[in-house]
């Protein structure tokens, strides 16, 4: 996970966006806006159950260099595809007219217009260090960076607390991915040195100090390199089964069951698979609360077992892990990680491990060796510290 795919010059992502803008439009951008990828410390598949999550932002970022252009036309160049796509007002009257990567940009324009904002035409150039398809929210980073640019360029009245919902609508309705509110909230609202404790029901947030380095620790993020296996269909299926379980239990969302009422709730459900899904969500909400309590008390070293328990719950009850991911977690723990879990929606993506800073290389090597033994494609890794959310670059 170097952030620089083969063949691309290893220059700073903001410089690449600026250079792309100059080359494509033979002009200077009016500004540059960045939004990070995210890792979720704990709280998986709880967001669409109105529950709790605890993500933090990464220093890997997507940068949009942009300037206004007359009329209602948007032109977008992307470093990754090397393509330029232009769309007009007629393409953002309803979802689905712009496809592929540019749909995330058109979706933001659509969502802004749908919410009544008079968004002006713009030229945009996008560069990114957030790896695609690794479960680190490259799509939310793109949406958030574009949104920040369009809000600033048009001087639109859209407070930052309202931006995650709008970006989520772009993804849910225009792109058509039924995701929850976590990723857009994380990439927009996270702060450096903190994890974002988000109540997904009312979107209230608390910035929780999370500074592993101060405790001699680091977070190792391993990209499993596992091909995403049916991730979209499986995500939608998990979401459906949670919603059906809540309806069966007569509550608005699974958030309304707490661990003390879990056994009673499970006894009212006939289907063993549904019981497992419910048990994951209810216990995961509690693990988020327990993690937050430990971090508030400055006991960062003690969160490891909660991370590992979260992984077991995703593996055994929610059934969203794959062999590469489980191998990475097991190898990290065997090599001395304090805790390890898959992060993100599942069926591939990344694992995060809380490790002693001076053991990070040894843990990464152990994961690589376990992969080699099983014949998996070699994983990549990076160590991370909580970084800031979306911002205009000066």
Active-site amino acid positions = 183
Q: Cβ of residue 285: shortest distance to ligand GAF, in angstroms?
A: 12
Q: Cβ of residue 193: shortest distance to ligand GAF, in angstroms?
A: 23
| Under rule CB under 6 A, residue 317 binds ligand GAF | no
- Whether residue 273 is annotated as binding a ligand: the answer is no
DSSP-assigned beta bridge partners for residue 56: 39
**Burial annotation 361-379 (CB, 10 A radius, 16+ → b, else e):** eebbebbbebbeeeebeeb
Task: Tell me the torsion sign for CA atoms 200, 203, 204, 207.
Answer: positive
Q: Which of residues 64-93 bind ligand GAF (CB under 6 A)?
A: none
What letter would DSSP give residue 128?
A: E
> Of residues 183, 223, 285, 324, which one binds ligand GAF by CB under 6 A?
183
Using the minimum distance from each CB to ligand GAF, give the nearer residue, 47 or 129. 47
The Cα–Cα gap between 307 and 290 comes to 11
| Under rule CB under 6 A, residue 179 binds ligand GAF | yes
DSSP-assigned beta bridge partners for residue 123: 67, 75
- Whether residue 117 is annotated as binding a ligand: the answer is no
| Under rule CB under 6 A, residue 345 binds ligand GAF | yes
Using the minimum distance from each CB to ligand GAF, give the nearer residue, 172 or 308. 172
Q: Which distant-in-sequence residues (6+ apart) come within 8 Å of 183 by Cβ?
A: 38, 55, 137, 139, 140
Query: Going by DSSP bridges, is the β-strand pair 122-128/55-68 parallel, antiparallel, or unpaired?
Result: antiparallel
- Whether residue 204 is annotated as binding a ligand: the answer is no
Q: Which stretch binds ligand GAF (CB under 6 A): 26-34, 39-47, 84-92, 247-255?
A: 39-47
Using the minimum distance from each CB to ligand GAF, give the nearer residue, 29 or 345. 345
Residue 270 CA, chain-centre distance (Å), reads 33
Q: Cβ of residue 195: shortest distance to ligand GAF, in angstroms?
A: 14
> Of residues 45, 225, 277, 279, which one binds ligand GAF by CB under 6 A?
45
Binding residues for Mg(2+), as ranges, are 139, 171
In the complex, which residues of this chain contact ligand GAF (CB under 6 A)? Answer: 44-45, 47-48, 179-180, 182-183, 344-345
């Amino acid at each position: 996970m170097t952030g620089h795919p083969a063949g691309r010059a290893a220059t700073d992502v903001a410089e690449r966006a600026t250079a792309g803008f100059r080359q494509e439009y033979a002009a200077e951008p009016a500004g540059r806006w960045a939004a990070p990828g995210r890792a979720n410390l704990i709280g998986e598949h709880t967001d669409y159950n109105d529950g709790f999550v605890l993500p933090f932002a990464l220093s890997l970022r997507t940068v949009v260099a942009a300037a206004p252009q007359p009329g209602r036309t948007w032109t977008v160049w992307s470093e990754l595809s090397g393509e330029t796509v232009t769309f007009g007002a007629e393409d953002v009257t309803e979802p689905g007219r712009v496809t592929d990567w540019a749909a995330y940009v058109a979706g933001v324009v659509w969502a802004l217009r749908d919410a009544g904002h008079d968004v002006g035409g713009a030229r945009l150039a996008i560069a990114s260090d957030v790896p695609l398809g690794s479960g680190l929210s490259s799509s939310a980073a793109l949406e958030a960076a574009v949104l920040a640019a369009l809000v600033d360029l048009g001087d639109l009245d859209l407070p930052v607390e309202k931006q995650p919902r709008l970006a989520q609508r772009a993804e849910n309705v225009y792109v058509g991915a039924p995701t929850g509110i976590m990723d857009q909230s994380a990439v927009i609202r996270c702060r450096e040195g903190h994890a974002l404790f988000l109540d997904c029901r009312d979107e209230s947030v608390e910035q929780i100090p999370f500074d592993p380095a101060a405790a001699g620790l680091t977070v190792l993020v391993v990209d499993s390199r596992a091909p995403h296996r049916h991730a979209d269909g499986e995500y939608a299926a998990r979401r459906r089964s949670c919603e059906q379980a809540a309806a069966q239990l007569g509550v608005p969302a699974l958030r309304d069951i707490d661990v003390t009422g879990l056994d009673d709730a499970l006894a009212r459900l006939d289907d063993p698979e549904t019981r497992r899904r419910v048990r994951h969500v209810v216990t995961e909400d509690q693990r988020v609360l327990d993690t937050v309590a430990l971090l508030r008390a400055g006991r960062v070293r003690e969160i490891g077992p909660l991370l590992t328990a979260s992984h077991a719950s995703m593996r055994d009850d929610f059934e969203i892990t794959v062999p590469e991911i489980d191998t990475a977690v097991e190898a990290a723990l065997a090599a001395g990680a304090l805790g390890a879990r898959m992060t993100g929606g599942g069926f591939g993506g990344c694992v995060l491990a809380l490790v002693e800073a001076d053991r990070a290389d040894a843990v990464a090597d152990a994961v690589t060796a376990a992969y080699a033994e099983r014949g998996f494609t070699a994983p990549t890794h990076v160590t991370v510290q909580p970084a800031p959310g979306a911002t205009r670059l000066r």
